[in-house]
A and B are shown apart, each in its own frame.
Chain A
């Protein structure tokens, strides 16, 4: 068997594996195109023979999706801004030095990274209610998400700063730059891509966040799409084409970003997670 044929065969198997693995995604998309009765047909249709696009319009209007997605966007943007502002500097210092204090800081950050949100929400909720923060529910959720996701961001961005050669910064200092000047003019631009990719990863996580939003935000007009999707799925629901349309509208932007930036996201993720 020649090299070319082996490659083609491997690619074919790989495509088949990907198709099987991503079948749930396909099933989500295809269900949205079925009519209310076709959803419950036996055997189920595996191909959109009679696509119904109006489910999207119906769900968008009847479930007020614009408001839900707007809230998700506000929360995710707030959390990413806060995390990037605070976390970048922290990651820089933890990458630049190697001593006992840095080890302690890294250990603390790794420990805070692993706390499950569903376990931390009890004290956070009670504490926030005592501080009166529950009157600003979306801000409260942003704070909680920032505390949860910042350690992950710091770990990822630290790996980026590690790859910026220290000699460049030292050269800038010799040329008369202050530390602040060298940081903003030399180090940050060199680490820009890594920071951006990490911020995108954090954004995708925050965009799908559920536990904190569900527990903290009572008023429906401030709830993000994850909570909206959850309340759409009652125990005896049968509007599966509408629910899948909700999920599709919610998840497609995230998938689009991911597929476009896939290479960078995967390499950013792997460089941080194991170091």
Chain B
């Protein structure tokens, strides 16, 4: 007994205790639900069997039924568009801003940090503000576009099936750009300056320096940031809840919102779990890429 107590205060036991309790907590509250999710996707779950773990086993029936639905592929396509367009927008604008703020001038780092406000705000608030700005008749975005002569009639961002998904993408690009910019700035500041001096002596112009020095030196940071972007974009839920609720008629629905909608609006927990399993597999793939690319950065 004394030996155990001694180990806990002054030996290996101390380390093991410090790690075991949080890891146990995480496994109980994230690991178990993960497995339970897989189990539910193979079961028939309804309001009556919600209280029991042992439910009728249906094999792959949930998966088959899911892919037989007419809305499944359009929603997965929406998810792909949402992810691609959001990451592309966030990354390109973020990179541009990071390059601008890389030029050192007084106040640069403070102003750059201020951008992060968009990322720090609750998603619901960001969604509410963009919902109001994108409003059809009285929204300020439509007003500015009209004044600029870009549109002649108001765009009904939230209720027009052609624009609903893009309304959420627009808000999401705004939300994530600053985070991309901050991480890219870190990568940029790690590039040794003498590389540029040498290139300049050799007569390389700005564009050549960007392509032959900046991009190759940033390769692993860019990999990490893009996969982080994928992870964060697939987590985005609040904006959908605040702007379009997946409507009209699923035009702006994506998998991560659909899974929640099926479980908590239509009480089809088995279907919700089935989509969750598919998407979680996808997210885990992205995070393996992320871990690999950050590894390289630490070691290289």
Q: Mark B106-124, 1 if CB is under 8 A from A, else 0.
A: 1111110111111011111
A244: which of B129, B186, B275 is its contact (CB, 8 Å)? B129
Contact flag A147-B25 (CB < 8 Å), given A14-B107, A129-B51, A211-B237: yes
Known: A116-B279, A125-B263. A110 touches B291 (CB 8 A): yes
Q: Decide if A87 touches B279 in the complex (CB within 8 Å).
A: no
The interface stretch among B67-75, B96-104, B195-203, B207-215 is B96-104
**CB–CB B30/A112 < 8 A:** yes
Asked whether A230 is an interface residue with its Cβ less than 8 Å from the other chain, the reply is yes
Whether the pair A146, B25 counts as a contact (CB closer than 8 A) is yes
Q: From B34-42, B57-65, B82-90, give the one contacting chain A.
A: B34-42
A259 on the interface (CB 8 Å rule)?
A: yes
**How far in angstroms is the closest Cβ of chain B from A125?**
7
Contacts of A28 in B (CB 8 A): 125, 129, 132
Q: A11-B106, A111-B287, A240-B132 are in contact. Are A180 and B9 (CB under 8 A)?
A: yes
Identify which of A86, A115, A243 gathers the most chain B CB atoms within 10 Å of its CB.
Answer: A115
User: Is the CB–CB distance between A11 and B269 below 8 Å?
Assistant: no
Separation in Å of the A48 CB from the closest CB of chain B? 15
- B270-300 to A contact mask, C-beta < 8 Å, 1/0: 0011011001100110110011001001100
How far, in angstroms, from A269 to B180 measured CA to CA in the complex? Answer: 12
Q: Give chain A's interface residue range (CB within 8 Å of chain B).
A: 35 or more
Question: Which of these, B126, B131, B138, B280, contacts A115 with CB under 8 Å?
Answer: B280
Whole-angstrom distance from the CB of B45 to the nearest CB of chain A? 8
Q: Is the CB of A122 within 8 A of B298?
A: no
Say how far B108's CB is from chain A's closest CB, in angstroms: 7
- Contact (A121, B263) CB under 8 Å given A110-B287, A254-B122: yes
Count of A-B contacts judged by CB separation below 8 Å: 290
Q: Which residue of A lies closest to B225 (CB)?
A: A274
Q: Interface residue tally of chain B, by bracket?
A: 35 or more
Q: Does B183 lie at the interface of the complex (its beta carbon under 8 Å from any beta carbon of A)? A: yes
How far does the alpha carbon of A109 sit from the alpha carbon of B61 in the complex, in Å?
32
Is B130's beta carbon under 8 Å from chain A?
yes
Within 8 A of A (CB), among B124-149: 124-126, 128-133, 135, 137-138, 140, 143, 147
Contact partners of B51 in chain A: CB under 8 A: 129-130
Of all chain B residues, the one with the shortest Cβ separation from A22 is B117
Contact partner of A116 (CB less than 8 A), chosen from B52, B115, B263, B283, is: B283
B150 at the binding interface (Cβ < 8 Å): no
Nearest residue, chain B, Cβ from A113: B287
Contact yes or no, A31 B182, CB < 8 A: no
**Chain A: CB-nearest residue to B258:** A118
Q: What is the minimal beta-carbon distance from A157 to any residue of chain B, in angstroms?
A: 11
Q: Verify if B253 is at the interface (C-beta below 8 Å from A).
A: no
A168 contacts the other chain (CB 8 A): no
A123–B128 CB distance below 8 A: no
**Are A27 and B235 in contact, CB atoms less than 8 angstroms apart?**
no
Known: A22-B117, A233-B128. A123 touches B37 (CB 8 A): yes
Whether B53 and A130, one on each chain, are in contact in the complex, defined by CB atoms closer than 8 angstroms, is yes
Give 7 closest A-B pairs by Cβ, nearest first: A208-B122, A89-B18, A147-B29, A123-B33, A119-B276, A118-B237, A90-B22
Given contacts A208-B121, A210-B241, A233-B128, 17 further A-B contacts (CB under 8 A): A13-B100, A21-B118, A93-B15, A114-B231, A114-B287, A116-B256, A116-B279, A117-B235, A120-B276, A120-B280, A127-B32, A180-B14, A226-B238, A229-B242, A240-B135, A243-B132, A262-B110
Interface residues of B (CB under 8 A from A): 9-11, 14-15, 17-19, 21-23, 25-26, 29-34, 36-37, 40, 45, 50-53, 97, 100-101, 103, 105-111, 113-118, 120-126, 128-133, 135, 137-138, 140, 143, 147, 174, 177-178, 182-183, 185-187, 221, 224, 228, 231, 234-235, 237-238, 241-242, 245, 256-257, 259-260, 263-264, 269, 272-273, 275-276, 279-280, 283-284, 286-287, 290-291, 294, 297-298
22 A-B interface contacts by CB (under 8 A): A6-B105, A14-B107, A22-B118, A24-B126, A40-B138, A44-B143, A93-B18, A108-B26, A114-B235, A115-B30, A116-B237, A116-B283, A143-B29, A147-B26, A148-B30, A178-B10, A210-B123, A210-B238, A226-B124, A258-B116, A266-B116, A270-B186
